[in-house]
Amino acid sequence: MGDKFRVGVIGCGGMAANHVSGYLECDRFQISALSDLSSEAMIAFDKKFNGYKHYQPKHYLDAYEMLDSENLDVVSIATWHKGHAKWTIAAAARKPKAILCEKPMAEDIGHAADMIIACERNNVKLTVGHQRRFLPSYVETRNLIEKGAIGKVQMIRSISGSGLLNWASHLFDMFRYLLGDDDCDWVMGAVERNTDRYERSIRIEDRALCSFGFKSGADGLLLSDFKEDYYQGCTVIGSEGIIELRPEYYRLMNSDTNGNWSEISPKGKYFQPDESGFEIKEGAVLQAEELADWIQGNVQNHRGEALHGYKAVEMACAVYESSRLHEMIRLPLKTRVYPLDLMVESEHLPIQYPGHYDIRASQLRGENMISDENNK
């Protein structure tokens, strides 16, 4: 086990399981420690990974104790959203080689910027869990766009739900990734919030309309919570063709396909598109594999490094800021706090149907039905 990178995990829920699955499948890490507020959660977590040679974690109810007691190379942070900045900064102060933080990077750009500063001043590599960047269908679609297979990209569009910082953060990151990590130039947004709706303790909207302009000249459009059948993926419309992208496959229409749809399901390295959970499992292991390469100096950059996570949060917050100020927002965004909170707390966006509820309440334990305040 001596040549494996030692990993400690903070927060033992479903997303942490995805991180750990990736670490173990690529066989370059050992899981040395878990921290959660619930012993029951850690015991249940262990049962998912029984039989893995490099899964032998010690349990901690106090994450600070874990960080101080274990000589960790990597820290995975998979708490609810408000814990991301707190635990990233705490972990960075202990100087591991790298930190993998679950998305969204933070609830606003102020906290996200603090995370980057904390890691830079301690020489710690920081990545954010936008694991779909590693899927073969995404990689091939990006390459096709770069090679001009559909001409100049004019529009990229998708549908989402369950909060812009939640589901849509993957899509904002995908927009940029497919456009060669192009920067967003301007944002225009409209937000509806008639109920007191939360997602993992963060206020979210009931519905949002999001429009983006990128430096390359491409436009982006995202509709959130307008339809129930939203998905990860998008439609990319170019001057000479169209690509429909999903995690398992993509469909191409251009002159080479004679104006017909050509569907391709690229093979995965560890899992295949027809396997259950492919998009999570394949993305997680490739994300972990590239993290090991980044630590060892085999690659100069990580596809999920922190700046990309920051820019996904910035795009989400700019939608809210546009709705708050009733104007187009030019990036970089200046407001460092969460604009949706500003709208609600100033009664700029009054609640029509009172009653605080969290759409992730089913994931809580014990008697709590709203949030786990201690997990911040």
Whether pLDDT at 281 is above 60? yes
Q: State pLDDT tens for residues 107-152.
A: 999 999 999 999 999 999 999 999 999 999 999 999 999 999 999 9
Residue 106 structural domain: 5-132+279-305
At 154 the pLDDT is 98
At 210 the pLDDT is 98
At 372 the pLDDT is 55
CA-closest candidate to residue 317, choices 222, 229, 200, 189:
189
Q: What does the alpha-carbon distance between residue 58 and residue 55 come to, in Å, rounded to a whole number?
A: 10
If residue 310 lies in a helix (H) or strand (E), which one and from where to where? helix 306-325
| 106 in a structural domain | yes
Residue type, 348: H
At 230 the pLDDT is 86
Q: What does the alpha-carbon distance between residue 49 and residue 303 come to, in Å, rounded to a whole number?
A: 27
As given in the structure block, the two tokens for residue 306 are 């922190």
Whether pLDDT at 177 is above 70? yes
Query: Exposed, middle or buried: residue 289 (CB in 10 Å: 0-12, 13-18, 19+)?
Result: buried
pLDDT mean over 317-335? 98
Contact present, 234 and 174 (Cβ < 8 Å): yes
Q: State pLDDT tens for residues 82-114.
A: 999 999 999 999 999 999 999 999 999 999 999
Listing DSSP states for 206-260 in one string gives SEEEEEEEETTS-EEEEEESS-S---S-EEEEETTEEEEE-SS-EEEEEGGGTTS
CATH number at residue 71: 3.40.50.720
Listing DSSP states for 167-195 in one string gives HHHHHHHHHHHHTTSPPEEEEEEEEE--E
At 375 the pLDDT is 47
| 162 in a structural domain | no
CA distances for 278 relative to 22, 100, 139, angstroms: 12, 20, 15
Listing DSSP states for 12-54 in one string gives -SHHHHHHHHHHHHHTSEEEEEEE-S-HHHHHHHHHHTTT-TT
As given in the structure block, the two tokens for residue 175 are 């927009």
Whether pLDDT at 376 is above 50? no
Rg (CA), the chain: 20
The answer, yes or no, to whether the previous bond of 247 is cis (omega within 30 of 0) is no
As given in the structure block, the two tokens for residue 14 are 């479903």
CA-closest candidate to residue 38, choices 13, 72, 75, 70:
13
| 37 in a structural domain | yes
Q: State pLDDT tens for residues 224-255.
A: 999 988 889 999 999 999 999 999 999 999 99
Confidence label for 362 from pLDDT (cuts 50, 70 and 90)? confident
| 220 in a structural domain | no
Q: Count how many residues are written for the chain.
A: 376
pLDDT mean over 75-88? 97
Listing DSSP states for 251-308 in one string gives EEEEGGGTTS-EEE-PPPSSS-TTSTTHHHHHHHHHHHHHHHHHHHTSSS--TTBHHH
Whether pLDDT at 373 is above 80? no
CA-closest candidate to residue 259, choices 234, 242, 236, 238:
242
Q: What does the alpha-carbon distance between residue 139 and residue 116 come to, in Å, rounded to a whole number?
A: 26
Whether pLDDT at 369 is above 90? no
Q: What does the alpha-carbon distance between residue 106 and residue 125 come to, in Å, rounded to a whole number?
A: 17
Q: What does the alpha-carbon distance between residue 137 and residue 274 come to, in Å, rounded to a whole number?
A: 13
The number of domains in the chain is 1
Q: Which residues pair with 127 in a beta bridge?
A: 100, 305
pLDDT mean over 272-276? 95
Whether pLDDT at 2 is above 80? no
| 171 in a structural domain | no
CA-closest candidate to residue 318, choices 306, 307, 333, 308:
333
| 249 in a structural domain | no
At 228 the pLDDT is 87
Whether pLDDT at 374 is above 70? no
Contact present, 189 and 318 (Cβ < 8 Å): yes
At 264 the pLDDT is 98
Whether pLDDT at 305 is above 90? yes
pLDDT mean over 63-92? 97
136-140, 207-211, 366-370: which range is least confident on average? 366-370
| 196 in a structural domain | no
At 35 the pLDDT is 98
| 190 in a structural domain | no
Whether pLDDT at 367 is above 80? no
* 224 φ/ψ angles, rounded to the nearest 5 degrees: -115, 125
Contact present, 134 and 324 (Cβ < 8 Å): no
Q: Which residue do the tokens 């990209």 mark? A: 153
